[in-house]
Homo-oligomer: A and B are copies of this chain.
């Protein structure tokens, strides 16, 4: 063919992070047959979906089998029952302004993060480093100019807004609680970003996928911050809260108050979704709604508590050993400085050969990830405890 392809795709670095990890683990297993592996690199949930939620989904499957209760094309922005339930959840976590009409249900946060740039023009993009790689890659695919704000030990991996006063209106990504660092913005920290966005005419894309892990007094949603409804969209998900990674459901909040050049952002997002998307499975949406009320909600919180107990165990070990880390409190992630100034890959090999523990080198998340390491709390209690006992001997 002689058609032109989108050459910006060539700017996306192929990542070999997880295949490199898999290769090293495989070699280790071949050289050490029978040796136990403790996987702490998992970014996926492992607990099953609570019966209080699957029973709602079984009911929904049955509805699909009967002519009188069959559901065809779902509403493009989500069923009213789910948009209302999500709006209710926002009220419960302290944001009254999030109406059902401003909530656009989707097949997951990753899709929305990837598709949001569709409706934007050619703006500069500000992304924290270290970072979830999807922010960078989906903007590279559109040929956008990216600048990074640095997360380092000095700011506990919570980068502050640039000090420059002549910043162009930009698109700013913030993930709090952060993947991979587990760091969470305080009210003051997030307010600084909202004020920066308001002052520079910028848009914040706030990724709240790990909101449910927050237990300290920190903002669960950017809409707790005054002014956010004029400068921020928020993307969130049932994946980590309700264990829906395999079921695909998330949402984006686009307040009706967001305007640029006299155009409501919600109008463009609604049009994008109505044209290039056809809604989320009825069964998934019924399950999602069940996760936000009564027994379903309690059961999800119990699962979160299970992962958080793992995180606390890990955090206590590194605290006791005097190893610098972020996360572990309001997050399923622990982000630690590799001891003895090791690089991430060096530490990877070291704990794999000594302990049989697999984690993720910080190098996979950006320049500032060098010499850091991500451990996750999504494993079993038993394995996490074993890992903790081994880390104590570091």
Contacts and interface: CB of A to CB of B under 8 A. Distances in A.
Interface of A: 1-7, 9-10, 12, 44-51, 54, 57-58, 61-62, 64-67, 69-74, 107-108, 110-111, 113-115, 118-123, 134, 137-138, 141, 169-171, 197, 200-203, 230-231, 243, 245-248, 258-261, 263, 265, 268, 271-272, 275-284
A6 B275 contact: no
Contact of A1 (B2, B71, B119, B203): B203
A275 B245 CA distance: 15
A275 B48 contact: no
A245 B2 contact: no
B170 A3 contact: yes
Nearest to A201: B2
B47 A247 contact: no
B114 A72 contact: no
B54 A61 contact: yes
14 contacts: A1-B230, A3-B169, A6-B118, A6-B120, A12-B275, A46-B70, A47-B70, A48-B67, A49-B64, A58-B62, A64-B247, A137-B275, A247-B281, A283-B284
Contacts of A73: 44, 245-246
- Most chain B beta-carbon contacts within 10 A, residue among A9, A197, A201, A246: A246
A6 B278 contact: no
A299 to B, nearest CB: 11
A53 to B, nearest CB: 8
A345 B72 CA distance: 27
Contacts of A259: 1
Contacts of A276: 110-111, 113-115, 134, 138, 141
A119 B5 contact: yes
Contacts of A245: 72-73, 278
A247 B245 CA distance: 16
Number of copies: 2
Nearest to A9: B268
Contacts of A65: 48-51, 54
Nearest to A54: B65
Name the 3 nearest CB pairs between A and B, nearest first: A114-B276, A2-B201, A4-B121
A279 to B, nearest CB: 7
Contacts of A280: 107, 248
Contacts of A284: 281, 283
A244 B91 CA distance: 34
Contacts of A243: 70
Contact of A248 (B6, B49, B114, B279): B279
Contact of A4 (B70, B71, B248, B260): B260
A201 B3 contact: yes
Contact of A272 (B141, B170, B261, B275): B141
Contact of A57 (B69, B72, B283): B283
Contacts of A6: 118-121, 268
Nearest to A62: B54
Contacts of A111: 276-278
B246 A202 contact: no
Nearest to A378: B72
B44 A64 contact: no
